[in-house]
Structures are given as structure tokens and as C-alpha cells.
Amino acid sequence: MICVLLNDSDFDRTLSPIEFALEKLGVFYRTWRTFREGFPQYASDCDGLIISGGFTMKGYFEEKGDLYGASFLKNFGKPILGICLGMQVLARLAGVSLVVSRELGISRVWLYEGNDLFKGMKSPLEVCQRHNYALPYVPRGYSVIARNDSTFIQAIASKDNLKYGVQFHPEEIDLGSEIESLKIFSNFASIVERHSTENSGGGK
């Protein structure tokens, strides 16, 4: 099961675009609204994680250090996909301080070949952007896997192929992301399924 860590309180009582996307694709998931419900108690409850966008990293970090959300992610040894704020959380965990970089509307993003998150996808891709911060450099242990002309680091992947982040919003089809961008979720689901199989005795 994929666990969605929903950080956007605008969707407290309604389905978020991420949840709509997963349902459209037939992906089995459960959502934790972190601003109200916190985080999963046990990592074993989840085969993979999606960290949504949002307005605050409350629950993950405070000035004096990491909170439970950050510790949960650090100890989660399975696939993770961070979207917008979610990618920024992954970068913070790797020691990166964010910089102001406002980008709103539709932009064209170039996807790099050779990674499973963008498998079978066209490039460039038009996507919805909605962020005020960005990564100033690539976190240690990661590589850039997508770029655009405004915010260069548009997506990252860890060297162990377990952690992925995208700065844009592939779920926001109604706001202008191409329908093609939903393949990111189906590709991530395949990554999760493969990792689960390989680590449950089912793989070779």
C-alpha cells in the first residue's frame, strides 16, 4: 500500500488532486492528513510514501531540529516520492537550505531519460508550477532528473533509486499539467511494487 502524507490543509475534508489521480489509476493507497492526523505509526504499514505539497513543514522540522515526521522519513527504507514541498522536505533531510524561487502557472519541463520515474514519458512536458522556494543545489546522494529554464532543479532521484522528488505538480491536471504527467504516479506505483516484491522473498 502507498501511504500519502497530505500536507495541504485546503483538502482537510475533500479529496486532494493526488488522491483523485491515484484513484483514476487504480492505485491502492491510504492518506494521512498530517496537519490533523499526524503520521503513520509504523513504517510496516506502508510499502511506499508520497509526500504532498503544502504550505508548511510543520510536523517535520522546527528550529531546534527534526520532529517526528522527519525522523519517520529518515528511517523509512522504501520508495518515497516528494511533490513540491515534499521534494523540499527530502532536500532538507539531506542538509539543503532552500532559496526563494517563486514560480506560478504552466511551464515546460525537460525530463531526463534513464530513470524509472519518467519511464515511457515524453519530454518536454507542460506542468503546473506553484511554489515559492526551490533547491539551490543538488542534495548529496541525489541526481537531477528534470529541469526547466526558471527553476533548474525540477526533479531529483537518489542514487539508490528509492527517493524521488518533483518540484512541479503532476496531479494538477485541472490547472494545466498534461495528462501525461499522471504516468509519474503509475511509474512510482510500479517502483513500489517491484521493491516490495524484491524484499519479500518474491524477487530473484
Which residues have a catalytic role annotated? 84, 169, 171
Q: Which cell is 103 given?
A: 514560480
Q: Which cell is 166 given?
A: 518533483
Q: State the helix-helix crossing angle for 183-198 and 17-25, rounded to 10 degrees.
A: 70
In eight-state DSSP terms, residue 174 is G
Q: How far is CA 165 from CA 12, 42, 141, 152, 204, in A?
A: 23, 23, 13, 13, 28
Closest by CA position to 155, among listed 104, 95, 88: 88
